[in-house]
Amino acid sequence: MNGRVDRAVDVIVIGGGHAGSEAAAAAARLGARTLLITPDLDRIGQMSCNPAIGGIAKGVVAREVDALGGVMGRATDATRIHYRMLNRRRGPAVWGPRAQCDRGLYPRAVRRCLEEVPGLEFLQDRVDGLLLGGADGRTAQGVVTRGGERIGAASVVVTAGTFLRGRIHRGPGAGMSAGRAGEPPSIELAECLEGLGFEMGRFKTGTPPRLDGRSVDLASLEIQHGDPEDYRFAAYTRERVPEQRPCWITWTGAELQRVVERNLARSALYGGEIAGKGPRYCPSIEDKVVRFPDAPRHQVFLEPEGLDTHELYVNGLSTSLPGDVQEEFVRTVPGLEQARITRLGYAIEYDYFPPHQLRHTLAVRAMAGLYFAGQINGTTGYEEAAAQGIVAGANAALAALGRPAWTLERDEAYIGVLIDDLVTRGVDEPYRLFTSRSEFRLLLRQDNAVARLGPMARDMGLLTPQQGAALERELEAQSTIRQWFTGTRLREREVREVVAELDGGWSGGSITGSELLQRPGVTAEAIVGVVGGAGPGVVDSEAFRSVEVELKYAGYVSRERERAEVLRSRARFRLPDDLEYPALVSMSAEAREKLARIRPETLAQAGRVPGVSQADLQNLVMEVRRLR
């Protein structure tokens, strides 16, 4: 590196959003001296759009982040004002916890959690460039801040979210540079990264207007209360959970459709103002009207923004139309006839870096010491960002400390699915997680995140001693419950009682609790109730519910494990870094071209690259063996 540095740390994290917070916490937990640099310390963990965490698949990720010692689960519990378990009518493999949080309290809770982490320092500043060094000048060795500081580091993690050359739009000709409403974009950092020759792209996303709840006729709307149970995202710590607030449901209609259609040319999205691609699954109201012209109505959720404010988030009306059109279409919605807008909706366009340029550690392939995490990798959502933050931050620290890298497989965590999808398939629209993206949904449940990932996190050093102790207690409780069910034999009379209660017949003799549990309709609670005594302990604990699912679906779970093992054996077959794909003529031209671009690290990853067939894989194995 040329020139002096003012100071040096092990890891620098650029940006204090959801990826940056988790990256900084993970790096410092592993013992790396870590510096989090962000332009406004009061906006660490800021929720740019809906103040909600979780949902289908995303809720599992939030729990995985927590199991790995992250801050998201704790901050959610401490600030959640409405909680629901989504998909409850379907199997437990796809349940998704979701919490609406207090927008003001959430960032404060994140900051409190971060300030508890020893070895983590903060700097309010903006990073404008990287310090480069190494033999070929392609090793990141630190950063240069707007304040003029040159800070050295062994690893640098970039988590700049929607800020890279961000441009917000509301109506035609009204675009302006911003990272999100009221905050400047990062232009210098974007130019620095572009100058390093990385492939770049442009994506967009949007946010709806917010309303003053006092101007909404809430009494006329359908009310939605939160679920009553005391569900927790955080497994190791018990936060004080605020009291719940309700949400309300209303619907758009033909009048809104007419207003939007009449003004489409004034939409930044449809008036040709925005080039970037948007998230298919969070469409703007313009998108909905254009894509589903025959849909008579669209659902709108009115969600509280906080405990001490009347402001409502209008989930479902994201838009880039000008303010006067927003006023007009909002007032066509039942209950909102007199609604006053407190903040206008807008769309934002920003730079991202196609993630096939990354390794599974989220290290940038073409530059040592540099990691990317979050929206910058083409994803959308707080949970997706947080998940990447943990992996990038941990690996940045492990590399700085000279320890082996850490990755998660697809059968270990949704985080593994997310990162593998990004790296091996790339993205051509903002990437969001769904349960359908995982081939191992029964293995990757929200209820077993701690059992799956806690021991790994503890062994790596991602957990505090207190968290480690809480993990031990949880695993012990699960083991006691499991042993009780596998070791308790029910006599025929007891079996009949359980099954008769559930309207079924039973023709066999005695049977263990775990075998009986596999019968349709039999619950663990019913078995404990019939056997009586102390049973396996508390029946409504998370440990109890988790073991119940594991035993009930044991047959399916073991089949998924067998499939996972096949994948694992392919994952052990490593592909050389310098493989000359164009020369491997036994493979199809398409496979050679795609593999040369993605450069998978293992045979399993190669198998997931679109355009690579089973025959290509077999030929690849032969070619690699021949070259060895």
Measured from the CB atom, the residue of 390 and 460 that comes closer to ligand FAD is 390
φ/ψ bin of 537: left (φ > 0), alpha (ψ from -120 to 50), beta (otherwise): left
Does residue 316 belong to the site contacting ligand FAD (CB under 6 A)? no
Residues 148-177 as x/- pattern, contact with ligand FAD by CB under 6 A: -----------xxxxx--------------
16: its two tokens: 């204090």
Please enumerate in sequence order all residues whose Cβ is within 8 A of that of 136, keeping only pairs 6 or more positions apart, or say none. none
Instruction: Supply the minimum distance, in Å, between the C-beta of residue 500 and ligand FAD.
Output: 48
**DSSP summary character for residue 379:** B
The closest of 376, 380, 360, 359 to 194, measured between CA atoms, is: 376
Pick one of 348, 442, 463, 549: the residue that binds ligand FAD (CB under 6 A): 348
Residue list, annotated binding site? 15-20, 127, 186, 278-292, 375
Measured from the CB atom, the residue of 57 and 256 that comes closer to ligand FAD is 57
Residue list, annotated binding site for NAD(+)? 278-292
Pick one of 63, 126, 288, 356: the residue that binds ligand FAD (CB under 6 A): 126
Pick one of 76, 87, 207, 319: the residue that binds ligand FAD (CB under 6 A): 207
496: its two tokens: 């009949």
User: Do residues 410 and 568 touch, judged by C-beta distance below 8 A?
Assistant: no
Instruction: Supply the minimum distance, in Å, between the C-beta of residue 592 and ligand FAD.
Output: 34
239: its two tokens: 């936060």
Name beta bridge partners: 223: 248
3-state secondary structure of 361: coil
The continuous run of DSSP H or E covering 78 comes out as helix 72-79
User: Do residues 250 and 302 touch, judged by C-beta distance below 8 A?
Assistant: yes
Instruction: Supply the minimum distance, in Å, between the C-beta of residue 306 and ligand FAD.
Output: 17
Pick one of 39, 59, 322, 536: the residue that binds ligand FAD (CB under 6 A): 39
10: its two tokens: 């092990």
Pick one of 34, 87, 361, 375: the residue that binds ligand FAD (CB under 6 A): 375
How distant, in Å, are the alpha carbons of 110, 231, 291, 417, 472 from that of 450?
Answer: 20, 15, 41, 17, 10
3-state secondary structure of 233: coil
φ/ψ bin of 362: left (φ > 0), alpha (ψ from -120 to 50), beta (otherwise): left
458: its two tokens: 């503890």
Instruction: Supply the minimum distance, in Å, between the C-beta of residue 183 and ligand FAD.
Output: 6
Measured from the CB atom, the residue of 99 and 584 that comes closer to ligand FAD is 99
Instruction: Supply the minimum distance, in Å, between the C-beta of residue 157 and ligand FAD.
Output: 11
Separation of alpha carbons 68 and 454, rounded Å: 6
Residues 235-274 as x/- pattern, contact with ligand FAD by CB under 6 A: ----------------------------------------
Within 380-419, the residues that bind ligand FAD by CB under 6 A are 380-382, 385
Number of residues that bind ligand FAD (CB under 6 A): 35
- The contact set with ligand FAD (CB under 6 A) reads 14-20, 37-39, 43, 48-49, 126-127, 159-163, 179-180, 186, 189, 205-207, 282, 348, 374-375, 380-382, 385
